[in-house]
Amino acid sequence: MSAVATLRRSRRGGQPASRRLRPWYKNGSLVAGLIIVGIMVLLAVLAPLISPDNPLHQNLDQALQGPSGTHWLGTDKLGRDVLSRLLYGARVDLKIGFLAVLIPFVVGSILGAIAGYYGGWIDIIIMRVVDVFYAFPLYLLVIALVFVLGSGERSIYLAIALVSWVSYCKIVRGEVIVARRQEYVQAARLGGLKNMRVLARHVGPNVVSQAITYAMSDIIMDIMVIVTLGYLGLGITPPTAEWGSMISDAQEFITTLWWMAVLPGIAVVITGLGLSLIGDGLGDLLSPERRR
C-alpha cells in the first residue's frame, strides 16, 4: 500500500513566493471555518449564561413539545429544553471531539515521523502494526472495544485512541518520506544536526499540516462514532446533554417528531462544516503548492 502512496507526488519547484505570504485572514475557507467553529465554541462556553433552561431539568407535562415561545426548539421526551441541551451538548461534543483526536494525533504523528524518517526495520515494524489496525474498520474496532471496556466517556477516548492513531501515522509517514528528500532537510542533516533535531525542527513543522487537516475531519468522524455508539446504546452516560445521545434518543421519533433528530444533526453538520473549512484553509495556508 505504501509504495503506491509515495509514487503519486511530483514536486513542482519554484512557485512564486508571493502566494506563500498571503495572510491567513485573507483565506476565505479558513476565516469562514474559524467563524463557524468560533461561534460554536463561544456558544459552548457561554452555555450556562445563554441557555434558557437547565439542560437536565425534566418537565414531563411539557414533554415532546414542538418549537414554541417558551421552548424555541421544543422539548424532548422528558420535557427538557432542546435548545439548552444543544448548547450544553456543544461543550461535551467539542471537548470529546478535540480530546479524542489529540492523543492519536500526537502518538500517530510521532510514530509516523519516526517510521518515515528512519526507514528500515523501524519503518517495517511500525507500518506492519499500522496495516494490522488498518485492516479493521474504525467502527468495528471502536464498537467492539467500547463493548469490551464498557460504555462511557473514558472508554470512548481509549477506543478511538487505540484505533485512529494509525491514520495519522500513515499520513505523517508519507509526508516525512517526501520531506526527507527535500533539500532543506538534507541540508540540515549535512549541517551536522542530530536526527531528532532535524525531525522536530525541520521535518515536523513542514509535514504536520496534512495531519492537522485530517484531524479536522477526524473530529467529525469521532462525533459520528459517538452518535453511532449512542444508536447502539453505548454512548455518553445519560442524562448528560450530548448531540450523539440526543440524536439516538430522538431515533425512535424519527418518523413522527423528525426535528428532534434533525436539530442536533444540524449542530453536528455545522460543526463539521466549520472544521472542514478550517481544514481546507489550513491545507491551503500551510502547503500552498500541494493543494487547491
272 contributes a contact to other proteins by CB under 8 A: yes
Candidate residues 99, 106, 217, 259; the one interacting with other proteins per rule CB under 8 A: 217
At 81, phi and psi to the nearest 5? -75, 120
4 contributes a contact to other proteins by CB under 8 A: yes
How many amino acids of this chain bind other proteins (CB under 8 A)? 89
Which conformational region is residue 28 in: left (phi greater than 0), alpha (psi within -120 to 50 degrees), or beta? alpha
Q: How many Å apart are CA 230 and CA 26, to the nearest integer?
A: 39
Other residues' Cβ atoms within 10 Å of the Cβ of residue 36: 19
Candidate residues 1, 25, 69, 121; the one interacting with other proteins per rule CB under 8 A: 1
Q: Which stretch binds other proteins (CB under 8 A): 41-49, 92-100, 107-115, 255-263?
A: 255-263
282 CB-near residues (< 8 Å, 6+ apart): 30, 209, 212, 213, 216
205 CB-near residues (< 8 Å, 6+ apart): none
Retrieve residue 289's grid coordinates.
Answer: 503548492
Shortest spacing between CB 231 and other proteins, in angstroms: 5
Residues 135-154 that bind other proteins (CB under 8 A): 135-140, 143-145, 147-148, 150-151
Candidate residues 276, 281, 282, 284; the one interacting with other proteins per rule CB under 8 A: 276
23 versus 49: smaller Cβ distance to other proteins: 23
Candidate residues 202, 222, 242, 278; the one interacting with other proteins per rule CB under 8 A: 202
220 contributes a contact to other proteins by CB under 8 A: yes
> x-or-dash pattern for other proteins, window 159-178, by CB under 8 A?
--------------------
The long-range contacts involving 61-69, CB below 8 angstroms and separated by at least 24 positions, are 64/253, 64/257, 66/257, 66/259, 67/259
Shortest spacing between CB 279 and other proteins, in angstroms: 10
Nearest to 88 by CA among 273, 243, 263, 268: 243
Shortest spacing between CB 83 and other proteins, in angstroms: 19
**Cα–Cα separations (whole angstroms), residue 241 to 81, 189, 247, 275:** 10, 52, 11, 21
Shortest spacing between CB 6 and other proteins, in angstroms: 10
Candidate residues 39, 134, 259, 285; the one interacting with other proteins per rule CB under 8 A: 134
Shortest spacing between CB 262 and other proteins, in angstroms: 8
Asked whether the beta carbons of 178 and 289 are under 8 A apart, the reply is no
Residues 30-59 that bind other proteins (CB under 8 A): 56, 58
Q: How many Å apart are CA 247 and CA 224, to the nearest integer?
A: 10
